[in-house]
Structure 1
Amino acid sequence: MASFIDDIKAPFKKGNTLIQLMLINTGVFLSLIIINFIFSFTPNGDRISELLSSNFDLIAPVKQFIRKPWTIVTYCFTHYGFLHLLFNMLTFFWFGTLVQEFIGSRKLLNIYLIGGILSGLFYITIYNLIALANQSGSLNLNNITPTILGASAAVYAVMFAAVALLPEYEFYLFGIVLIKIRYVAWFFLILSFIMPSSGISHLGGAISGYFYIYFLRRGVDLGSPIEAVSEWWGRLWRPKPKVKIPQRRYSETTVASKNSGGTNLDPNYFPDQDEVDAILDKIGKSGYESLTKEEKQKLYRASQKKD
């Protein structure tokens, strides 16, 4: 059991975004199954399960989407069933491996999230335009569902990002036929229009992935905000480095008098923990010598404080 948990933790420690996203998708899918199973034994369990699932699905009508804006992201991690999950994850693995090897894990995450978000907005726009046209009787909305979910749109973004990166790349389809990935990508995209809802969503993802690479080649990274948020999130969970307070042979007065114009602190003043943490962070980033005279005095005073 411990080995299994370690295998799951490993991609997160090593920063393998491809496997991380596959594990997250699988984890969400299994978690919803378990929760639904638990609630199935309670009164109104079906209602509770339906309410929980609907908080992940993207609802296309604008009024309903505004009530659940987070679904523009969460729908990218949910699936209708096991085969839906399996197909998406296999496709994501094939094309995501190429993208990650050529432009790195961070860019793969950018493409996945941007593809999912922009595809969702694209679907909402098309759905509501058709709904308006349907009111005048010029278009039929019957074949377009108001709800979408699944990683498909994000996967198609990764798929067409790979096509934009490596249009001539070839691989053996099912180990038999040597074919270029762009033909495979276009085949799947066109085939998805058998279900108009899927086709519209996948088209939004394909456009997002292709233009991400288009702009990236011109020096514009559309995923910079995502990288900034990801870096901030990573810092929250990154343990602070243990910084040992330098031991000096001279006293606090010597610290202040070593430099002309030194500032002596009030003898009864002791810095609080927040001040000490800020000083230690500064040492961790720039070294002890980057401290001001007053900061050195505060650090010395903190080291002399008795509990």
Structure 2
Amino acid sequence: MPPAAPPRTDDTQDPTVVNQLQSWYYRQPPALRVILAINVTVYVLAQFLRVLWPGGLAFIVDHFALHATFPDILLEPWQLITYNFMHTSAGFGGLLHIAFNMLWLFWIGREYEEMHGSDRMWTVYILAGIGGGLVSLLLMPLGIFGNPNIPIVGASASVLGVLMAVAILYPYKQIALLFIGVVRLIWVVIGFLVIDVLINLGSNSVALTAHWGGALSGYLFAKAERGGMNLTGWTRIFGGGSKKKRGRRGSKKGESLGLLGRLEVWLGGNPNPDPDSGSTSPVSSRSASSSSGSSKTTTSSKEDEVDRILEKISEQGYDALTEEEKRILYEASQD
């Protein structure tokens, strides 16, 4: 009886989970995918260090979490930024902390970045985190908003800043909540902040001041956006900051990769993949292009109109838009 044939190991099998995850990762807009990657990497690293090298984890928390006390913060001011990328808590509670932050950022932040560009996404995320840290520095010494000896970690301030900015820029934006139904995003943010006060006020929680500071920063950022103020020049270090039209994906071909884009290339990735590229032959590509030409033309015209409206906001402010332009921008945000 002949031996059984060995199992097939060719490349025609279904892609692995790792390949699927990598494909999903590079389909995300640039700023969002880097923010997600840093937060998840730090979380996983913290869990390993907790078991293998507790002293290393303690060193990271001592120098990169936010210690809301003076004059210590003056010696390590980078804590105002680095704490926004740190989720170090253990157990199920720590997992829920990062999971909810990253899911909300993905649900709301992805759409915002595709509409307004990676530079604005970086700006609101970083500024909201800094704002949350500064409010904590001002209020924590009072002793009624938490214990100043407990370091602050987590992206909640930045995430709330992004949510608030989107809620102010798009006041009619709605989301569906389990067991509640469809509600406006602004009421979701306000409801969270109110519940946050009821739960944490008078306790040792250090999150309250950072949450409210992040939301306030997002509000101020949105107001500045609507007023035509450009706060994104510093994002050139990340590959953003262009004042030219970017399209809904927030990037241009030939644009500088920036610091984080170069890091992705060094790690072997492709930070700016062409979503239409693949292994299709030129003949099949022309055939597909021909069959879907009309739909692509329609989509392109809509994107051009959205780009024009966004450019008008950048130059004249949100209040300069006509009612029809506001309607087009709102409908585009729902696509």
* Alignment TM class, shorter chain as reference: 0.5 to 0.7
Structure 1 residues 170, 13: closer, same or farther in 2, change over 3 A? closer
Shift of 1:10: 6.7
Gaps of 5+ in 2: 1-14, 240-257, 267-335
Shift of 1:30: 0.1
TM-score between the two structures when normalised by the length of structure 1: 0.64
1:134-173 superposed matches below 5 A:
140-141=143-144, 143-146=146-149, 147-173=151-177
Q: Which region of structure 1 is more displaced relative to structure 2, 157-166 or 28-37?
A: 28-37
Say whether 1:94 aligns with 2:103. Answer: no
Distance 1:24 1:2, change over 3 A: farther
Residue 178 in structure 1 maps to residue 182 in structure 2: yes
Alignment counterpart, residue 19 of structure 1, candidates 33, 48, 55: 33
- For residues 126-275 of structure 1, the aligned pairs below 5 Å read 126-128=139-141, 130=142, 140-141=143-144, 143-146=146-149, 147-174=151-178, 177-193=181-197, 194-196=199-201, 197-225=206-234, 227-231=235-239, 232-233=258-259
Mapped partners of 1:90, 1:61: distance in 2: 31
Query: What whole-Å deviation, never above 9, does each CA across 1:174-233 have from its counterpart, x for those lacking one?
Result: 2751111111110011111222432211111111111112112222122321x1222352
- CA distance in structure 1 between the aligned counterparts of 2:222 and 2:148, rounded to whole angstroms: 30
Deviation, structure 1 residue 141: 4.4
Tell me the matched-pair count.
Answer: 222
The Cα shift of 1:9 comes to 7.6
Shift in CA distance, 102/235, structure 1 to aligned 2, threshold 3 Å: closer
Greater Rg, structure 1 or structure 2? Answer: 1
State the partner residue of 1:269: none
| Aligned: 1:37 with 2:51 | yes
Cα pair 2:131 2:217 within 8 Å, conserved: yes
Identify which of 115, 126, 131 aligns with 1:118: 131
What CA distance in whole angstroms lies between the structure 2 residues aligned with 1:142 and 1:168? 33
Amino acid at match of 2:220: F
Q: Structure 1: which 5+ residue stretches go unaligned?
A: 40-45, 131-139, 240-307
The AA in structure 2 aligned to 1:22 is L
Q: 2: CA distance between counterparts of 1:199 and 1:235?
A: 34
* Partner of residue 57, structure 1: 65
Which secondary structure does the structure 2 equivalent of 1:58 belong to? coil
Compute the displacement of 1:102 (Å).
2.5
Deviation, structure 1 residue 14:
6.6
Whole-Å Cα distance in 1 between the matches of residues 233 and 34 of structure 2? 20
| Structure 2 CA distance for aligned equivalents of residues 206 and 62 of structure 1 | 23
Q: Matched residues in 1 for 2:145 and 2:37: separation?
A: 35
Q: Secondary structure at 1:55's aligned position in 2? A: helix
Does structure 2 retain, via aligned residues, the 8 Å contact 1:167–1:180? yes
RMSD: 2.7
Q: Deviations over 1:19-51 (max 9, x none)?
A: 331222111100111223222xxxxxx444322
Give, in angstroms, the shift of residue 96 of structure 1. 1.1
The superposition leaves residues 90-135 of structure 1 with CA deviations (integer Å, 9 ceiling, x where unpaired) of 221222133223312321121111111121122112224x2xxxxx
Contact preservation (8 Å) 1:12, 1:20? no
Matching residue of 1:108: 121
2:113 and 2:121 in contact (8 A); partners too = yes
